[in-house]
Structure 1
């Protein structure tokens, strides 16, 4: 069965992972975000209990 022979696809898979991790990942991580997150203090919200009409 040719599906069990790893020689045709194993080399392609390993080289593609090396290309993704060594070439493309640093290039994509070097981009700066156009909308950086802002460190804001979150306002505490007051929760009101729900009054059920049938209870």
Structure 2
């Protein structure tokens, strides 16, 4: 069965993994996040109950 032969596919997997980890990943990690996290505590707005006219 040819699909059990790891000879060509293992090489392709290793080359892809090395390409990603050595070339693509460092380029992606240099980008600065557009929305950096802040240390402010979120403010919660107070809610008031709805006054229904028929009750």
Alignment TM-score > 0.5, same fold = yes
| Equivalences, count | 45
Aligned ranges for residues 33-48 of structure 1 at < 5 Å? 33-41=33-41
Please identify runs of 4+ aligned residues in structure 1 that moved more than 3 A.
none
- 5+ residue gaps, structure 2: 44-55
- 5+ residue gaps, structure 1: 44-55
The Cα RMSD (Å) is 1.7
State the TM-score, normalized to the length of structure 1.
0.69
State the TM-score, normalized to the length of structure 2.
0.69
